[in-house]
Amino acid sequence: MTRHFLKDDDITAAEQGDLLRLAADMKDDRHGFDSLNQSGRLRSVAVVFEKPSTRTRLSFQIGIAELGGNPVVIDSQSSQLGRGESIADTARVLSRYVDAIVIRTFGDDRIAELAEHATVPVVNALTDGWHPCQLLADLHTIAEHRRAGLHMLRGTSIAYVGDAAFNMGNSTVIACSMAGMHVRVGAPAGYQPAADVLARAAEINAETGGSVIVTDDPVKAVSGADVVSTDAWLSMGMEDREQRITDLAPYQLNAALLGQAAEDAIVLHCLPAHRGEEITDAVMDGPQSKVFDQAENRLHAQKALLSWMIGGERE
């Protein structure tokens, strides 16, 4: 059966650990893997964009090339997707040409339909509901900077503050629970993870020993945390700008809020940042920020994922 990576728990906790170890190896030896070109077979990967992108485009395109593969970048505006061809027909056609499909799109229904009709692995490069590739990079970054040792994530506490009702909030809750971490979400009512996401996290935590707490008090969420993470409050297509900024202003990641975290806490933001809104310059550019390490680690984590899914590294 074809394996897809549409959300964080499409892999097991053990597989997550394997991927993080492989990502670390690939970072240590960036050009030492060619697992998409084994035995002279050049594997092609379609990278489909229905949303604008910087880090996702660069990290997948460069990563596939560094693995010895052929990245085929497709923008919806310059393909028949932009003219109304169905996602199901697109899946059937691409499956005849490539070894995997990576897609950055809007609704989760679109990627679910793509995966249903594809006969090759489908990777979620971002949807409205999930951002699992980003969380692999986040976990890689946390492991790098934790004194407990590489990938010793169990028991680490992470605070996620701001809008936690969409992709980054959902993926943080699930992926960090899989790693056995203690997740604290600080968000106002209406911006908190949905009940089904929290229920799934509870199931995972029963196995991994992690935990999730949701509070509307940003100080309570951040107090003593090892990692503090946030994301933009305004995504493409959102029209309620002023209301969102008003609602979320108390959750800005600034020096005062960061001061409530552990002394050696690190700061994460998946970028792009709206400086002065969800995060201040002093924090973003400060000594605790690992934001640009985090951005780089998209490359290594996604190389590991593609190698594991289609390049034989799983075997």
Which residues are marked as active site?
A: 104, 131, 134, 231, 270, 298
Q: First and final CA of the chain: distance in angstroms? A: 15
* CA separation for the pair 265, 261 (Å, rounded): 6
Write down the residue that tokens 């050049």 correspond to. 42
Rounded to an integer, what distance in angstroms lies between the CA atom of residue 176 and that of residue 135? 8
Residue 4, class by beta-carbon neighbours within 10 Å (0-12 exposed, 13-18 middle, 19+ buried)? buried
Q: Which of 175, 147, 141, 162 is nearest to 257 (CA)?
A: 162
Distances (CA, A) of 311 to 203, 212, 268, 303: 31, 35, 30, 10
